[in-house]
Structure 1
Amino acid sequence: MPSTLVPSPVLWCLAAFLCGSIPFGLLLVKLAGKGDVRAHGSGNIGATNVSRVGGKALGAVTLLLDIAKGFLPVFLAKKAGVGVDLLALLALAAVLGHVFTPWLKFQGGKGVATALGVILAADASMMLLPMGTFLLALWLTRHVSLGSILAAAMVPVQLFLTRGPHRPLAELLGQGPAPVLPWAALAILVIWKHRENILRLQAGTESKLWGAKKEDAHVQG
């Protein structure tokens, strides 16, 4: 009987990974008759590059779907009573699916929207500091990439600050590193995927959300 329970965490993680791996941006652009989104702009399959290739409406739909594919597996697992340690692994698995999409030779997006989805599903209060940091950085610099990098860095910080008797993730720090490490790994993964943006930020060549020429844009997805 116990042996039947052993595969459950693996199956949960596999389902989250596969859900996260759906390349909505690529599919939507192709269905719209705009070709392969990877052949244009930054070459990314995320919402920003989709907006450039297929228009703002298509980009908005991609953004919502990329958030949803992170939200759904974590939300369902949470409703099923999955513990916080496995929930953290599922969140990481969904983002890994988007970043390393097996259907695209393990090339995917930068994971920002999908990370937003998994955090909203796990505990929306974890978005307070990251979202505030993102908006402040965007307002001060107009760099979406810098806002995303700083927001990702704030996820572990928010996790340590989210402590209270009624917070779903408040137990994490008392359960050892197992539930905390996947969230830290998720943040590191998103930052690592922005390594080219970091180089451009250092060189002063990174494009801005407004005021930059469309053909010169280097964005994320």
Structure 2
Amino acid sequence: MKRWLAVVAVLALAPLGAGPAAAAPNIYHTISSTHGGAYVAAEDGCELTEVFLSSSVAMYAAQPGPVNKQGLTSVFVRVTDTCGSVTAAAGGGGVLFEAEAMNMAKLVADPRLRNASVSTTMEGTDADGNPVTVELNATWTGTGELEHTTISNPDHFPDGNVVAVDNNLRRDAVAEVSVEVAGRSVSGTDEGASLELVKANCVEVARPGVEGFFPCFGFPG
């Protein structure tokens, strides 16, 4: 399960040195994207239940274009028999149950990342493709100092230029997570969780006559 996230700074960028005949720049804004991640594990005899959680809320916009608001929450649950006789490559135990689910539930977060929460009912599938319902409740409480970083990445390609700017906040947090799925319940604490907020923008300027130049999305043409 990946941790997601990435975001955009609302900063005005100067022209990238393109001549008057160059195409108009494409400008993409992550107005704000806040993400919380957590991992919890609980043991009951030989059964180890693990929960991998990611939740976010974001606002995106191209220029020109409308502002899009989006939440995204995903959870992956795995139950392992730690007493089972399997190879180390299988993780030290046989997998008894797996399920994953995702929906558009929004993380509710304090702008200074002092706390956040998400509660939702999610429809997903188990490892055999059978439908499952996941009940999720999670909270994050900030514990560390608020960290602030800025990143500016200008780059030049044969087909054009790009400048990406990030303005990031991060705070260490403690997450409390509770999940119910397929008759199984697990709850736990992640002392090493975190909350992150990114604001960013990415500006593309293609050279005259160039099409398909989208380095902001990983395709420099």
TM-score by length of 1: 0.22
Larger fraction in strand: 2
Bigger share in helix: 1
